[in-house]
Amino acid sequence: MIKPPVEELEKYYKTIRAPKMRLILSVQAEASRAVRGWLDSNGFLELLPPIIGPVTDPGIRGAKQATIDYYGKEYKVMSSAILYKQMLATALDKIYFFSPNIRLEPIESAQTGRHLVEFVQIDIEEADVDYKAAMATAEQLLSHTVNHVAEKMKKELDQLGRTLPRFRTPFRKITHAEAVEILKSYGEPVNPHAEIPWPQEEKLSKIIDEPFFIIDYPRGARGFYDKEDPARPGILKDFDLMYPEGYGEAASGAEREYEYSKVLARLRESGENPAKYGWYLDMLREGIRPTSGFGIGVERLTRYLCGLKAVWEARPYPKVAGVYSP
Ligand code: AMP
Ligand code: MG
Protein backbone atom coordinates (compact mmCIF):
# COMPACT_ATOMS: atom_id res chain seq x y z
CA MET A 1 0.00 0.00 0.00
CA ILE A 2 1.23 3.51 -0.75
CA LYS A 3 0.26 6.89 0.66
CA PRO A 4 -1.46 8.99 -2.02
CA PRO A 5 0.40 12.29 -2.41
CA VAL A 6 -2.75 14.44 -2.45
CA GLU A 7 -1.02 17.76 -3.19
CA GLU A 8 1.06 16.19 -5.95
CA LEU A 9 -2.07 14.64 -7.44
CA GLU A 10 -3.98 17.93 -7.40
CA LYS A 11 -1.21 19.36 -9.60
CA TYR A 12 -0.51 16.17 -11.51
CA TYR A 13 -1.91 17.59 -14.74
CA LYS A 14 1.24 19.70 -15.00
CA THR A 15 3.35 16.57 -15.54
CA ILE A 16 1.97 16.32 -19.08
CA ARG A 17 5.02 18.35 -20.19
CA ALA A 18 7.53 16.09 -18.41
CA PRO A 19 9.72 13.89 -20.65
CA LYS A 20 8.76 10.84 -18.58
CA MET A 21 5.10 11.39 -19.48
CA ARG A 22 5.90 11.24 -23.19
CA LEU A 23 7.69 7.92 -22.68
CA ILE A 24 4.78 6.44 -20.70
CA LEU A 25 2.13 7.60 -23.17
CA SER A 26 4.18 6.32 -26.12
CA VAL A 27 4.37 2.89 -24.48
CA GLN A 28 0.62 3.04 -23.82
CA ALA A 29 -0.15 3.92 -27.43
CA GLU A 30 2.02 1.05 -28.69
CA ALA A 31 0.31 -1.33 -26.25
CA SER A 32 -3.12 -0.25 -27.56
CA ARG A 33 -1.93 -0.81 -31.14
CA ALA A 34 -0.67 -4.28 -30.19
CA VAL A 35 -4.00 -5.14 -28.51
CA ARG A 36 -6.03 -3.96 -31.51
CA GLY A 37 -3.69 -5.75 -33.93
CA TRP A 38 -4.04 -9.05 -32.10
CA LEU A 39 -7.81 -8.81 -31.63
CA ASP A 40 -8.46 -7.66 -35.22
CA SER A 41 -6.36 -10.46 -36.69
CA ASN A 42 -8.15 -13.00 -34.48
CA GLY A 43 -11.61 -12.14 -35.75
CA PHE A 44 -12.80 -9.68 -33.06
CA LEU A 45 -14.81 -6.68 -34.23
CA GLU A 46 -14.12 -3.34 -32.54
CA LEU A 47 -17.32 -1.50 -31.56
CA LEU A 48 -18.08 1.88 -30.01
CA PRO A 49 -18.73 1.52 -26.28
CA PRO A 50 -21.99 2.59 -24.64
CA ILE A 51 -21.23 5.26 -22.01
CA ILE A 52 -24.58 5.75 -20.23
CA GLY A 53 -27.62 3.59 -19.56
CA PRO A 54 -30.51 2.94 -17.15
CA VAL A 55 -28.34 0.49 -15.17
CA THR A 56 -24.68 -0.42 -15.04
CA ASP A 57 -22.55 -3.18 -13.55
CA PRO A 58 -23.41 -3.45 -9.82
CA GLY A 59 -20.54 -5.89 -9.12
CA ILE A 60 -17.92 -3.24 -8.38
CA ARG A 61 -17.11 -4.09 -4.76
CA GLY A 62 -17.38 -1.01 -2.62
CA ALA A 63 -17.35 1.56 -5.43
CA LYS A 64 -20.37 3.82 -6.06
CA GLN A 65 -21.95 4.40 -9.45
CA ALA A 66 -22.13 7.88 -10.98
CA THR A 67 -25.63 9.07 -11.81
CA ILE A 68 -26.83 11.62 -14.35
CA ASP A 69 -30.20 13.23 -14.97
CA TYR A 70 -31.26 11.89 -18.37
CA TYR A 71 -34.30 13.96 -19.37
CA GLY A 72 -35.92 13.45 -16.00
CA LYS A 73 -34.84 9.81 -15.56
CA GLU A 74 -31.89 8.61 -13.55
CA TYR A 75 -29.18 7.11 -15.78
CA LYS A 76 -25.81 5.65 -14.84
CA VAL A 77 -22.39 6.30 -16.29
CA MET A 78 -20.89 2.90 -17.16
CA SER A 79 -19.01 1.29 -14.29
CA SER A 80 -18.53 -1.42 -16.90
CA ALA A 81 -20.46 -2.21 -20.06
CA ILE A 82 -20.78 -5.91 -19.18
CA LEU A 83 -24.57 -5.99 -19.57
CA TYR A 84 -24.32 -4.85 -23.19
CA LYS A 85 -21.56 -7.25 -24.15
CA GLN A 86 -23.67 -10.42 -23.99
CA MET A 87 -26.12 -9.22 -26.66
CA LEU A 88 -23.37 -7.70 -28.79
CA ALA A 89 -21.48 -11.02 -28.86
CA THR A 90 -24.76 -12.87 -29.50
CA ALA A 91 -25.30 -10.69 -32.57
CA LEU A 92 -21.71 -10.29 -33.79
CA ASP A 93 -19.80 -13.37 -32.46
CA LYS A 94 -16.53 -11.80 -31.22
CA ILE A 95 -16.46 -8.19 -30.12
CA TYR A 96 -14.38 -5.69 -28.16
CA PHE A 97 -14.33 -2.03 -27.26
CA PHE A 98 -12.11 0.38 -25.37
CA SER A 99 -14.63 1.32 -22.73
CA PRO A 100 -14.29 4.43 -20.52
CA ASN A 101 -15.60 3.65 -17.03
CA ILE A 102 -16.41 5.71 -13.95
CA ARG A 103 -16.35 4.17 -10.48
CA LEU A 104 -16.48 6.31 -7.37
CA GLU A 105 -14.03 4.06 -5.59
CA PRO A 106 -13.76 4.19 -1.77
CA ILE A 107 -11.21 6.62 -0.32
CA GLU A 108 -8.89 3.76 0.76
CA SER A 109 -8.50 2.79 -2.92
CA ALA A 110 -6.17 5.78 -3.30
CA GLN A 111 -3.53 3.78 -1.42
CA THR A 112 -3.46 0.69 -3.65
CA GLY A 113 -1.67 2.26 -6.61
CA ARG A 114 -4.16 0.31 -8.76
CA HIS A 115 -7.38 2.33 -8.59
CA LEU A 116 -8.56 5.34 -10.52
CA VAL A 117 -12.05 6.84 -10.55
CA GLU A 118 -11.91 7.27 -14.33
CA PHE A 119 -10.23 4.50 -16.31
CA VAL A 120 -10.49 2.57 -19.56
CA GLN A 121 -10.94 -1.15 -19.86
CA ILE A 122 -10.61 -3.19 -22.99
CA ASP A 123 -13.81 -5.20 -22.88
CA ILE A 124 -13.85 -8.45 -24.84
CA GLU A 125 -16.68 -10.96 -25.35
CA GLU A 126 -17.10 -14.07 -27.48
CA ALA A 127 -20.18 -16.21 -28.18
CA ASP A 128 -20.43 -20.00 -27.76
CA VAL A 129 -17.19 -20.46 -25.82
CA ASP A 130 -16.52 -21.39 -22.19
CA TYR A 131 -14.36 -19.58 -19.63
CA LYS A 132 -11.34 -21.73 -20.49
CA ALA A 133 -11.44 -20.36 -24.04
CA ALA A 134 -11.77 -16.82 -22.66
CA MET A 135 -8.65 -17.46 -20.54
CA ALA A 136 -6.79 -18.71 -23.61
CA THR A 137 -7.72 -15.47 -25.38
CA ALA A 138 -6.63 -13.41 -22.36
CA GLU A 139 -3.23 -15.08 -21.99
CA GLN A 140 -2.46 -14.91 -25.70
CA LEU A 141 -3.53 -11.28 -25.92
CA LEU A 142 -1.50 -10.27 -22.86
CA SER A 143 1.59 -12.26 -23.90
CA HIS A 144 1.50 -10.82 -27.40
CA THR A 145 1.14 -7.29 -26.04
CA VAL A 146 3.86 -7.52 -23.37
CA ASN A 147 6.37 -9.25 -25.68
CA HIS A 148 5.64 -6.88 -28.55
CA VAL A 149 6.03 -3.77 -26.39
CA ALA A 150 9.22 -5.14 -24.76
CA GLU A 151 10.80 -5.39 -28.20
CA LYS A 152 9.33 -2.43 -30.05
CA MET A 153 9.63 0.06 -27.17
CA LYS A 154 12.95 -1.15 -25.76
CA LYS A 155 14.53 2.31 -25.97
CA GLU A 156 11.64 3.98 -24.11
CA LEU A 157 11.51 1.19 -21.49
CA ASP A 158 15.28 1.48 -20.95
CA GLN A 159 14.85 5.19 -20.30
CA LEU A 160 12.11 4.37 -17.79
CA GLY A 161 14.47 1.86 -16.13
CA ARG A 162 12.13 -1.02 -16.92
CA THR A 163 13.06 -4.54 -18.03
CA LEU A 164 10.09 -6.77 -18.85
CA PRO A 165 10.18 -10.53 -18.41
CA ARG A 166 9.20 -12.57 -21.48
CA PHE A 167 5.62 -13.87 -21.13
CA ARG A 168 5.02 -17.50 -22.08
CA THR A 169 1.68 -19.31 -22.42
CA PRO A 170 -0.10 -21.17 -20.96
CA PHE A 171 -0.21 -19.22 -17.70
CA ARG A 172 -0.38 -21.03 -14.39
CA LYS A 173 -3.89 -21.50 -12.94
CA ILE A 174 -4.79 -21.74 -9.26
CA THR A 175 -8.29 -21.93 -7.84
CA HIS A 176 -9.61 -19.26 -5.49
CA ALA A 177 -9.60 -21.90 -2.73
CA GLU A 178 -5.89 -22.59 -3.42
CA ALA A 179 -5.13 -18.86 -3.39
CA VAL A 180 -6.76 -18.62 0.05
CA GLU A 181 -4.59 -21.54 1.28
CA ILE A 182 -1.38 -20.04 -0.11
CA LEU A 183 -2.14 -16.71 1.60
CA LYS A 184 -2.90 -18.53 4.86
CA SER A 185 0.47 -20.31 4.70
CA TYR A 186 2.13 -16.87 4.38
CA GLY A 187 0.33 -15.63 7.50
CA GLU A 188 -2.35 -13.71 5.53
CA PRO A 189 -5.73 -15.29 6.35
CA VAL A 190 -8.55 -14.06 4.07
CA ASN A 191 -12.28 -14.72 3.82
CA PRO A 192 -12.73 -17.83 1.63
CA HIS A 193 -16.17 -16.60 0.48
CA ALA A 194 -15.13 -13.21 -0.89
CA GLU A 195 -12.83 -11.61 -3.45
CA ILE A 196 -9.25 -11.33 -2.18
CA PRO A 197 -8.70 -7.97 -0.41
CA TRP A 198 -6.34 -5.48 -2.12
CA PRO A 199 -3.26 -5.87 0.16
CA GLN A 200 -3.41 -9.68 -0.07
CA GLU A 201 -3.98 -9.51 -3.84
CA GLU A 202 -0.72 -7.54 -4.07
CA LYS A 203 1.05 -10.01 -1.79
CA LEU A 204 -0.12 -13.03 -3.84
CA SER A 205 1.11 -11.40 -7.03
CA LYS A 206 4.57 -11.16 -5.38
CA ILE A 207 4.52 -14.73 -4.03
CA ILE A 208 3.61 -16.19 -7.44
CA ASP A 209 6.07 -14.20 -9.49
CA GLU A 210 4.75 -15.02 -12.97
CA PRO A 211 1.50 -14.11 -14.76
CA PHE A 212 -1.24 -16.42 -13.44
CA PHE A 213 -4.98 -16.98 -13.22
CA ILE A 214 -7.10 -17.32 -10.10
CA ILE A 215 -10.14 -19.34 -11.16
CA ASP A 216 -13.44 -20.57 -9.71
CA TYR A 217 -14.55 -17.86 -7.30
CA PRO A 218 -17.25 -18.68 -4.76
CA ARG A 219 -20.80 -17.51 -5.59
CA GLY A 220 -21.52 -14.25 -3.82
CA ALA A 221 -17.94 -13.00 -4.29
CA ARG A 222 -18.70 -11.70 -7.80
CA GLY A 223 -21.34 -10.08 -9.99
CA PHE A 224 -24.62 -11.88 -10.71
CA TYR A 225 -23.59 -12.44 -14.33
CA ASP A 226 -20.66 -14.84 -13.63
CA LYS A 227 -21.99 -18.33 -14.38
CA GLU A 228 -22.35 -20.87 -11.61
CA ASP A 229 -20.97 -24.30 -12.53
CA PRO A 230 -23.98 -26.67 -12.64
CA ALA A 231 -21.63 -29.55 -11.74
CA ARG A 232 -20.22 -27.68 -8.70
CA PRO A 233 -22.95 -25.59 -7.04
CA GLY A 234 -21.55 -22.52 -5.29
CA ILE A 235 -18.54 -22.29 -7.65
CA LEU A 236 -18.41 -19.79 -10.51
CA LYS A 237 -16.84 -20.37 -13.92
CA ASP A 238 -14.77 -17.22 -13.74
CA PHE A 239 -11.25 -15.88 -13.33
CA ASP A 240 -8.89 -13.06 -12.53
CA LEU A 241 -5.67 -12.66 -14.46
CA MET A 242 -2.78 -11.42 -12.32
CA TYR A 243 0.46 -9.63 -13.16
CA PRO A 244 3.68 -10.78 -11.49
CA GLU A 245 6.00 -8.54 -9.38
CA GLY A 246 3.25 -7.41 -7.01
CA TYR A 247 1.31 -5.44 -9.64
CA GLY A 248 -1.89 -7.33 -8.81
CA GLU A 249 -5.00 -7.86 -10.92
CA ALA A 250 -4.79 -7.27 -14.66
CA ALA A 251 -8.18 -8.54 -15.79
CA SER A 252 -11.38 -10.22 -14.62
CA GLY A 253 -13.54 -12.47 -16.73
CA ALA A 254 -16.12 -15.24 -16.78
CA GLU A 255 -18.50 -17.46 -18.59
CA ARG A 256 -21.81 -15.60 -18.35
CA GLU A 257 -25.10 -16.56 -16.81
CA TYR A 258 -27.52 -16.17 -19.74
CA GLU A 259 -30.64 -18.13 -18.83
CA TYR A 260 -33.50 -15.88 -17.76
CA SER A 261 -34.61 -17.77 -14.64
CA LYS A 262 -31.06 -18.19 -13.34
CA VAL A 263 -30.18 -14.54 -13.87
CA LEU A 264 -33.37 -13.47 -12.13
CA ALA A 265 -32.55 -15.64 -9.12
CA ARG A 266 -28.96 -14.33 -8.97
CA LEU A 267 -30.12 -10.72 -9.32
CA ARG A 268 -32.50 -11.17 -6.38
CA GLU A 269 -29.86 -13.00 -4.34
CA SER A 270 -27.40 -10.14 -4.85
CA GLY A 271 -29.95 -7.60 -3.59
CA GLU A 272 -30.62 -5.98 -6.98
CA ASN A 273 -34.11 -4.85 -7.99
CA PRO A 274 -34.98 -6.80 -11.19
CA ALA A 275 -37.44 -4.06 -12.23
CA LYS A 276 -34.45 -1.81 -13.01
CA TYR A 277 -33.11 -4.41 -15.47
CA GLY A 278 -36.18 -4.52 -17.74
CA TRP A 279 -34.44 -4.35 -21.14
CA TYR A 280 -31.73 -6.77 -20.02
CA LEU A 281 -34.21 -9.35 -18.74
CA ASP A 282 -36.36 -8.96 -21.88
CA MET A 283 -33.33 -9.80 -23.96
CA LEU A 284 -32.65 -12.93 -21.89
CA ARG A 285 -36.29 -13.99 -22.08
CA GLU A 286 -36.10 -13.81 -25.87
CA GLY A 287 -32.94 -15.92 -25.67
CA ILE A 288 -29.26 -15.16 -26.24
CA ARG A 289 -26.19 -17.29 -26.93
CA PRO A 290 -23.86 -18.35 -24.13
CA THR A 291 -20.85 -16.02 -24.06
CA SER A 292 -17.57 -15.60 -22.18
CA GLY A 293 -15.31 -12.61 -21.90
CA PHE A 294 -13.15 -10.37 -19.78
CA GLY A 295 -12.04 -6.79 -19.21
CA ILE A 296 -8.44 -5.65 -18.95
CA GLY A 297 -7.58 -2.19 -17.62
CA VAL A 298 -5.45 0.00 -19.90
CA GLU A 299 -3.88 2.11 -17.13
CA ARG A 300 -2.93 -0.99 -15.10
CA LEU A 301 -1.43 -2.54 -18.23
CA THR A 302 0.57 0.66 -18.81
CA ARG A 303 1.66 0.71 -15.17
CA TYR A 304 2.93 -2.85 -15.49
CA LEU A 305 4.66 -2.30 -18.83
CA CYS A 306 6.44 0.85 -17.61
CA GLY A 307 7.05 -0.40 -14.06
CA LEU A 308 5.26 2.58 -12.49
CA LYS A 309 4.67 3.10 -8.78
CA ALA A 310 0.98 3.89 -9.27
CA VAL A 311 -1.70 3.77 -11.91
CA TRP A 312 -2.22 7.54 -11.82
CA GLU A 313 1.13 7.90 -13.61
CA ALA A 314 -0.50 6.21 -16.61
CA ARG A 315 -2.97 9.00 -17.50
CA PRO A 316 -2.51 12.67 -18.34
CA TYR A 317 -5.38 13.82 -16.08
CA PRO A 318 -5.80 11.15 -13.42
CA LYS A 319 -8.75 11.09 -11.03
CA VAL A 320 -7.96 9.40 -7.73
CA ALA A 321 -10.60 8.83 -5.02
CA GLY A 322 -11.07 11.95 -2.92
CA VAL A 323 -8.63 14.15 -4.87
CA TYR A 324 -10.03 17.30 -6.53
CA SER A 325 -7.93 17.35 -9.70
CA PRO A 326 -8.90 18.73 -13.10
P1 AMP B 1 -13.54 -5.55 -12.81
O2 AMP B 1 -14.71 -5.93 -13.63
O3 AMP B 1 -13.88 -4.76 -11.61
O4 AMP B 1 -12.66 -6.69 -12.47
O5 AMP B 1 -12.67 -4.59 -13.75
C6 AMP B 1 -12.05 -5.11 -14.91
C7 AMP B 1 -10.64 -4.58 -15.03
O8 AMP B 1 -10.66 -3.16 -15.15
C9 AMP B 1 -9.76 -4.85 -13.82
O10 AMP B 1 -9.16 -6.12 -13.87
C11 AMP B 1 -8.74 -3.74 -13.94
O12 AMP B 1 -7.74 -4.01 -14.90
C13 AMP B 1 -9.58 -2.59 -14.45
N14 AMP B 1 -10.09 -1.76 -13.33
C15 AMP B 1 -11.17 -2.00 -12.55
N16 AMP B 1 -11.36 -1.02 -11.66
C17 AMP B 1 -10.38 -0.12 -11.88
C18 AMP B 1 -10.03 1.12 -11.26
N19 AMP B 1 -10.76 1.66 -10.28
N20 AMP B 1 -8.95 1.78 -11.74
C21 AMP B 1 -8.22 1.28 -12.76
N22 AMP B 1 -8.50 0.11 -13.36
C23 AMP B 1 -9.56 -0.59 -12.94
MG1 MG C 1 -11.83 -7.65 -11.01
Residue 101's SS3 state is strand
CA of 252 to the centre of ligand 2 (A): 4
Q: What is the pLDDT along the chain (326 residues), one digit of tens a residue?
A: 777 789 989 999 999 999 999 999 999 999 999 999 999 999 999 999 999 999 999 988 889 999 999 999 999 999 999 999 999 999 999 999 999 999 999 999 999 999 999 999 999 999 999 999 999 999 999 999 999 999 999 999 999 999 999 999 999 999 999 999 999 999 999 999 999 999 999 999 999 989 999 999 999 899 999 999 999 999 999 999 999 999 999 999 999 999 999 999 999 999 999 999 999 999 999 999 999 999 999 999 999 999 999 999 999 999 999 999 99
Which ligand is nearest to the Cα of residue 242, counting in written order?
1
CATH numbers and ranges of domains, the chain: 6-314 (3.30.930.10)
Helix axes 82-92, 278-286, angle to 10 degrees: 30
Which ligand is nearest to the Cα of residue 80, counting in written order?
1
Encode 250-262 in three state secondary structure: EEEEEEECCCHHH
CA 230 – CA 131 distance, rounded (Å) = 14
pTM for the whole structure: 0.98
Residue 323: CA atoms inside 13 Å, Cβ hemisphere, count?
27
Nearest CA to ligand 1 atom 19: 115
Q: What angle do CA 289, 290, 294 make, to 5 degrees?
A: 120
pLDDT score for 58: 92
Q: How does pLDDT run across 196-229, given as a tens digit for each residue?
A: 999 999 999 999 989 999 999 999 899 999 999 9
What type of residue is 150?
A: A
CA of 72 to the centre of ligand 1 (A): 30
Pocket test of ligand 1: the residue of 77, 101, 222 to mutate, having most ligand atoms within 8 Å of its CB, is 101
CA of 204 to the centre of ligand 2 (A): 15
Q: Are 119 and 101 in contact (CB under 8 A)?
A: yes
Around ligand 1, the residues with Cβ closer than 6 Å are 60, 80, 103, 105, 115-116, 119, 121, 249-252, 295-297, 299-300, 311
